[in-house]
Amino acid sequence: MPRRIAPTLIVTVVAVSLLAGCTAGSNGVSAPATLGQGTPRASATPAAAAVSKVSPVVGGVTGGTTITLTGSNLGAVDRVKIGRQDATDVKVVSDSKVTAVVPRSVDYQPASGDVVAYAGSKAVSAAATASYTWKVSSGVDREMQYAFAHWNAPTYNASYLDFNSVGGDCQNFVSQALDARGLAQNDSWHYNSSGHSETWGYAPAFDNYLKANPSLGFTPLTADQRSQLSVGDLAYFDWNNNDVPDHVMIVSAIDGSKISLVGHNLDYDYRDLDTAITKDHPGAKVWFYKVPASL
């Protein structure tokens, strides 16, 4: 009598066969699935970053203007260049907005430069070339533009006498720059066709003039208050510790704790303050005047 196969065994064999048919090929190796059978499609290429607008596109030669770059996929932007200059304080506000602070123009002269954002070493594409323009638009802009146009002997302003032969041209130069900034001339401080005041060309006289006339708004600062300085402020020096100023220069740059100065006599555009009072004149004294912001 033929042996009968138990029904439960048949069910088990069929189930195993069906399972094998879903997961394996004819040789028992899993068969590759095809699209439409549960395999995810390859992810799309991430959209490229792009800048569509820069605003504002005009500011003063002393810098400090915050510009905003808008566009798409800007989250990786970590650098912004304006012409040959690197902007500072680059911040990603959102995926569509980045802000940056415009640096001073090269030697405080009017100029224009393309605005380019970078993500790492790669420049971000732009819908159109964005150009930023540095203009002379404020009192300190006028002061610094003037100072850097006339700081060295070949470019001294021929409209003024050169005082180097009578003790030094440092205060004469500073007075010219302050006049360009907008400090009003008067009977006590002037240079005109009739002559000039002692305060115009002699550092001790102008130092005393500022001390005697606080209404002018020049705020005195000690050496310990140098952190309060701004570009365009004045630095007076006593080289030999007799409490009489021997020299004066204009603050030309502040980079962290480093303060640079522009002036005549030892004609210099970015003279290091600390070098001047240590290496050049060991033990010298320095004090400052903040020029009023209203000028």
Residue 108: strand, helix, or coil = helix
DSSP per-residue codes, 63-104: ---EEEEEEES-TT--EEEETTEEPEEEEEEETTEEEEEPPP
pLDDT at 15: 39
Do 276 and 166 have their domain in common? Answer: yes
Q: Quickly state the pLDDT bin for 17 (edges 50, 70, 90).
A: very low
Do 173 and 278 have their domain in common? Answer: yes
Position 13 in a domain: no
Looking at the chain, how many residues does it have? 295
Helix (H) or strand (E) holding 113: strand 111-119
pLDDT at 32: 43
The Cα 136–Cα 143 span in angstroms is 9
Do 154 and 237 have their domain in common? Answer: yes
> What is the span of the domain harbouring residue 199?
140-290
pLDDT at 38: 52
Q: Quickly state the pLDDT bin for 34 (edges 50, 70, 90).
A: very low
User: Contact at 8 Å (CB) between 87 and 99?
Assistant: no
Do 103 and 177 have their domain in common? Answer: no
Do 232 and 276 have their domain in common? Answer: yes
- Note the pLDDT tens digit of each residue in 43-90: 445 678 999 999 999 999 999 999 999 999 999 999 999 999 999 999
**Domain count along the chain:** 2
- Note the pLDDT tens digit of each residue in 243-270: 999 999 999 999 999 999 999 999 999 9
Structural Rg of the chain based on CA atoms: 35
Task: Report residue 177 CA to chain centroid gap.
Answer: 23
Do 147 and 265 have their domain in common? Answer: yes
CATH of the domain at 286: 3.90.70
pLDDT at 45: 52
Do 204 and 147 have their domain in common? Answer: yes
Do 98 and 178 have their domain in common? Answer: no
Contacts of residue 79, defined as CB under 8 A and 6 or more positions apart, other chains included, come to 86, 87, 90, 117, 118
pLDDT at 35: 43
pLDDT at 46: 60
- Note the pLDDT tens digit of each residue in 136-191: 999 999 999 999 999 999 999 999 999 999 999 999 999 999 999 999 999 999 99
Do 209 and 148 have their domain in common? Answer: yes
CATH of the domain at 126: 2.60.40.10
Task: Report residue 276 CA to chain centroid gap.
Answer: 25
pLDDT at 48: 87
**Of 165, 48, 177, 39, whose CA–CA distance to 108 is shortest?**
177
Question: Which domain-ending residue is among 109, 135, 161?
Answer: 135
Question: Which domain-ending residue is among 135, 157, 191?
Answer: 135
pLDDT at 195 over 50: yes
- Note the pLDDT tens digit of each residue in 206-249: 999 999 999 999 999 999 999 999 999 999 999 999 999 999 99
Dihedral of CA atoms 278, 280, 282, 286 in degrees, nearest 10, equals -70
Question: Which domain-ending residue is among 117, 135, 153?
Answer: 135
